[in-house]
Amino acid sequence: MPLVEVHNVVKEYANGEETIRPLDGVSLTVDQGDYVSLMGASGSGKSTLLNLIAGIDQATSGEIVVADTDITKLSRGKLADWRARHIGYVFQTHNLIPVLTAYENVELPLLLLPMSSAERRKRVGIAMEAVDLTSRASHYPRQMSGGQEQRVGIARAIVANPTVVVADEPTGSLDDETTEQILTLLSRINTELGMTLLMVTHDADAGSRARRKIRLERGRLLENGKPVSLVKGQTAQLHTA
């Protein structure tokens, strides 16, 4: 069974008297352990789709089912609780708290969960080791390079063992060498830890690292140049328009 199911999702924004529709009847499935890149021009709706799946934004219509929960039917309070348990988010600009150490930044998502301090220490240690930053645990963001900050951000995203890890332009502010390191780390998280990963990127090379490469054009999804369609309850099928 698919882990993520997006059914005929529409997202609209009001801009004065104009209605903007970045997503227009989008359907998609993502299997457990998959690695999917979402690519497209600026304003194509790729980050919008990512944020809908992550429960950060809400669809105008349609259904989004993640791990058998239709998150479009959750209240804002229940959606926040669900997000804390199921979603790990990797941001482009790291979004670390400058007055907290690397360890404390990674620990933050666990403070929202019913967990003992001993269990938190164990999980933070595992996450820091996974991104090879154990020696930097006591450092503050200002004492680290951009690449190290992003690795802290990745550790924070995986520390709660989320159902889905979403990454929005995770290499957008990094140089070529650091970009390669971060992409290699994301691939390891997918292959070695078995985490399901959805990544938005405008970088064709970064997108090519994923197992599935999907483009958003004019509010619709294309895979291998063909529209992505979905019969509810079944795996996504590709067909010629």
**Contact present, 199 and 38 (Cβ < 8 Å):** yes
Contacts of 64 (CB under 8 A, 6+ apart): 4, 5, 6, 7, 9, 52, 53, 70, 71, 72
Q: Give me the domain span that covers residue 208.
A: 32-56+74-214
Asked if residue 69 is part of any domain, the answer here is no
**Contact present, 202 and 42 (Cβ < 8 Å):** yes
Q: How many CB atoms lie within 10 A of CB 211?
A: 14
Among 64, 56, 143, 58, residue whose Cα is nearest residue 96: 143
Asked if residue 175 is part of any domain, the answer here is yes
**Contact present, 61 and 10 (Cβ < 8 Å):** yes
**Total number of domains constituting the chain:** 1
State the Cα–Cα distance between residues 180 and 161, nearest whole angstrom.
Answer: 24
How high is the pLDDT of residue 5? Answer: 96
Residue keyed to tokens 């404390």? 104
Asked if residue 42 is part of any domain, the answer here is yes
How high is the pLDDT of residue 229? Answer: 60
CATH of the domain at 92: 3.40.50.300
Q: How many CB atoms lie within 10 A of CB 216?
A: 24
Tokens of 172: 């957008």
Asked if residue 238 is part of any domain, the answer here is no
How high is the pLDDT of residue 186? Answer: 95
Q: What string of pLDDT tens digits covers the 241 residues of the chain? A: 799 999 999 999 888 889 989 998 999 999 999 999 999 888 888 999 999 999 999 999 999 999 999 999 999 999 999 999 999 999 988 899 999 999 999 999 999 899 999 999 999 999 999 999 999 999 999 999 999 999 999 999 999 999 999 999 999 888 999 999 999 999 999 999 999 999 999 889 999 999 999 999 877 898 887 887 644 334 433 332 2
Asked if residue 235 is part of any domain, the answer here is no
Among 29, 4, 37, 9, residue whose Cα is nearest residue 21: 9
DSSP 229: E
> What is the Cβ-side half-sphere exposure of residue 178, based on CA atoms within 13 angstroms?
14
How high is the pLDDT of residue 184? Answer: 95
State the Cα–Cα distance between residues 23 and 6, nearest whole angstrom.
Answer: 12
CA torsion through residues 216, 179, 167, 15, sign:
negative
Asked if residue 200 is part of any domain, the answer here is yes
Among 55, 85, 48, 56, residue whose Cα is nearest residue 70: 55
**Contact present, 88 and 106 (Cβ < 8 Å):** no
Asked if residue 22 is part of any domain, the answer here is no
Asked if residue 24 is part of any domain, the answer here is no
